[in-house]
Amino acid sequence: MIVERGTRVINLVQAVNEALDLALERDPRVVLFGEDVGKMGGVFRASDGLQPKYGEKRVFDTPLAESGIVGFAIGMAMAGLRPVAEIQFAGFLYPALDQILSHLGRMRHRTRGRFTIPLVIRAPYGGGVKTPEQHADSPEAILCHVPGVKVIIPSSPERAKGLLLAAIEDPDPVFFLEAIKLYRGVKAEVPEGYYTLPIGKARVVREGNAATLIAYGGMVEVCQKAAEVAAHEGVELEVIDAETLVPLDTPTLVESVAKTGRAVVVYEAMRTGGFGAEIAARLAEEALDYLEAPVVRVAGWDAPYPPFSAVENFYRPDAKRVLEAVRRVLMY
């Protein structure tokens, strides 16, 4: 692999670690905490080496209590700090939903801007790595339904680093979900040093004209695989990484559908009420004139995500299921 000057090939968890390091270095208000983030450096090593470098006041372990962590972080943010809280797995955000729904998203609004919450909550999510029960959940739709928060799910190391730094600078509360499958599953060139990427932009990761695949996080890779297979048969699929779910970059999605006339939305959460339904609804509202087929969703089934075994593969969307959906929209 050719490494340009000023970039190195690293994986997504290393990119996250770099971003955290740079944020701590740059802004003394940044504090990092969660379960096992200190000495151990986090269960995925996202905060590896940061406690020795910045001390226990800025990088610390908390008691094992998610509502406590998020509530504590909210208070710290209101009082002038820039907390970055880690929830060990997104499936363990549930005990903190009270804090999230009751306050995180509405504190700015209910105090007319007097108290704001510049907070980032990071959590690994998603399957494909055979984790125990509840470790692979994708609760992004629940989070997207909270007014006042932003939700970002990067799909590459380079995007993860720049977006995490942007999230930490952002004046609003941000959920930053990291696909576990991608942590060590992809490596790419990542610029050195501090840089931010704009929040609220979708990006075209592969151009095509036959149909648009819309995905985010761990599903972008799956869609790219599907697009490669389709290309062998002469079908050029466009692949879009939605990347920021709230605020969603609807214009970029509409623009692509205007070109291709067909869309398949891919996500690994349960299908009903999932974020893909939101994308499909927006396309129905804003791109109906261009659509030549109904928008089709490929998602997890309406069942709990199965724990670490071969059955996981029956649940998580793969290239084969994506291609079946592509056939459906092409043949409509």
* Residue type, position 218, single letter: G
Tokens of 61: 């372990």
Binds other proteins (CB under 8 A): choice among 34, 42, 71, 274: 71
72 near other proteins (CB under 8 A): yes
One residue of 65, 284, 288, 311 binding other proteins per CB under 8 A: 65
Q: Please report whether residue 39 would count as binding other proteins according to CB under 8 A.
A: no
From 70-78, 160-168, 219-227, 252-260, give the range in contact with other proteins by CB under 8 A: 70-78
In the structure encoding, which two tokens stand for residue 319, read together?
């290239």
Among 2, 4, 114, 234, binds other proteins (CB under 8 A): 114
Among 79, 233, 289, 331, binds other proteins (CB under 8 A): 79
Supply the minimum distance, in Å, between the C-beta of residue 253 and other proteins: 12
Alpha carbon of 154 to those of 38, 129, 205: distances in Å?
24, 18, 12
Q: Binding to other proteins by residue 73, rule CB under 8 A?
A: yes
DSSP string computed for 23-52: HHHH-TTEEEEETT-SSS--TT-TTTTHHH
* Residue 155 CB contacts under 8 Å (≥ 6 apart), including other chains: 179, 182, 205, 215, 216, 217, 218, 220, 221, 241, 243
Beta bridge mates, 32 = 59, 84
Instruction: For the segment 175-214, give every residue that binds other proteins (CB under 8 A).
Output: 200
- What x-and-dash track marks residues 93-112 binding other proteins by CB under 8 A? --x--xx--xx---xxxxxx
Question: 238 to 257, contacts with other proteins by CB under 8 A?
Answer: 246-247, 250
HSE (CB half, 13 Å, CA atoms) of 127?
29
Active-site pick, 103, 109, 135, 232: 135
| Chosen residue from 19, 22, 24, 76 binding other proteins by CB under 8 A | 76
115 binds other proteins, rule: CB under 8 A: yes
Exactly one of 16, 22, 81, 214 binds other proteins (CB under 8 A); which one? 81
Q: Where are the beta strands (DSSP E) in 62-104?
A: 82-86
Nearer CB in complex with other proteins: 47/99: 99
| φ/ψ (deg, to 5) at 86 | -105, 130
d(CA 87, CA 150): 16
Write out the binding residues for other proteins, residues 130-149 only, by CB under 8 A.
147-148
Our finding on whether 171 is near other proteins (CB under 8 A) is yes
Kindly state whether residue 232 participates in binding other proteins, applying the rule CB under 8 A.
no
Q: Of 153, 71, 82, 162, nearest to 120 (Cα)?
A: 82
Here the tokens at position 219 are: 């599903």
Should residue 31 be labelled a site residue for other proteins when binding is judged by CB under 8 A?
yes
Residue 11: partners with Cβ closer than 8 Å, 6 or more residues away: 157, 182, 183, 184, 185, 186, 187
Cα 50 to chain center, whole Å? 23
Least CB distance from residue 285 to other proteins, whole Å? Answer: 11
29 versus 45: smaller Cβ distance to other proteins: 29
- In the residue annotation, 145 being an active-site residue is answered as no
Contacts with other proteins by CB under 8 A lie at: 31, 57, 62-63, 65, 67-68, 70-81, 83, 95, 98-99, 102-103, 107-116, 147-148, 150, 170-172, 200, 246-247, 250
Which residues are annotated as catalytic?
Answer: 135
